[in-house]
Amino acid sequence: MRAPIAVFDSGVGGLTVVGALRRELPAEAIVYLGDTARVPYGGKSQKTIERYSEEIASMMVSEGAKMVVVACNTASALALAHLRDVLPVPVEGVIDPGVRAAIAATKSGHVAVIGTKATVGSGAYERGLRAACPDIRVTSIACPLLVPLIEEGMFEDEVTDAVLRRYLSPLRETDADTIVLGCTHYPLVAEAIGKALGYELALVDSAANCASAVARRLASEGLLAGDGEGSLDLGFTDPPDRFLGVAGRALGLATAPAAIRAVPPLGS
């Protein structure tokens, strides 16, 4: 089926999911919308995040999307169930695939989760992990400064390194052997996360695991595009800053200027 996969995020962090989807499903058309006018979602209420998410997803479905991918951990935690209730197409988020991958990776039975305040505060990863494995131990750490640093393109920077050491220091006193990158921005600083920890943990990339889940869902629903060359169109509700170019190069996302469009503001 040649209709596009719709991917949205509160900003540009969801481009990590787009990169993973392009690698997993090279024949698919992908349309991405970053709500850069209203970023970040991390400090907003569940009701507001549900409204924002429905506005975006409904618009993309009205334009012909065959599936919606919520490439935002905050929106996946707080709005996914609502979207599945109101949309007529399959909807995939980033949390459930991350949970499954973490359960498969851990040997000690102790998993760490890092994310925004909203994602960590929602308890979505803890609920998912404990539903899958009741005996699992979970340490959750909110990292509110990380997204702004990543949005500034500070992937390899002493400030980012210092912030990560501060946030991740509690893990040094635990036997956690797996860490879930509970924000789609975080894969861009995966190397810095490993350096800050100072020892090896299995890193669970929610973007890569989400892409695998999308591929399985499309196959089960008979919605795969089949052969051919895919495409990528990017839209933003406010002109993105230089991070778009930095992230695009890091993720290997080459798009022509004509494939990047401005989307009228969707409300406040």
Active site residues: 72, 183
User: Which 8-state DSSP code applies to residue 25?
Assistant: -
Question: In 3D, which of 257, 265, 254 has the Cα closest to residue 230?
Answer: 254
Question: How many Cβ atoms sit within 10 Å of the Cβ of residue 256?
Answer: 8
Phi, psi of 41 (to 5 degrees): -85, -15
The set of residues, in sequence order, having a beta carbon less than 8 Å from that of 125 and lying 6+ positions away, is: 77, 95, 98, 99, 113, 115, 119, 138, 140, 180, 182
For residue 158, the number of C-alpha atoms closer than 13 Å in the C-beta half-sphere is 0
The set of residues, in sequence order, having a beta carbon less than 8 Å from that of 168 and lying 6+ positions away, is: 114, 141, 193, 196, 197
Could you give the 3-state DSSP secondary structure of residue 261?
Answer: strand
Euclidean distance between CA atoms 11 and 20, whole angstroms: 17
Contact indicator for 96, 34 with CB cutoff of 8 Å: no
Euclidean distance between CA atoms 117 and 253, whole angstroms: 29
Contact indicator for 66, 223 with CB cutoff of 8 Å: yes
Contact indicator for 166, 197 with CB cutoff of 8 Å: no
The CA–CA distances, whole Å, from 192 to 31, 52, 105, 237, 258 equal 30, 32, 20, 30, 34
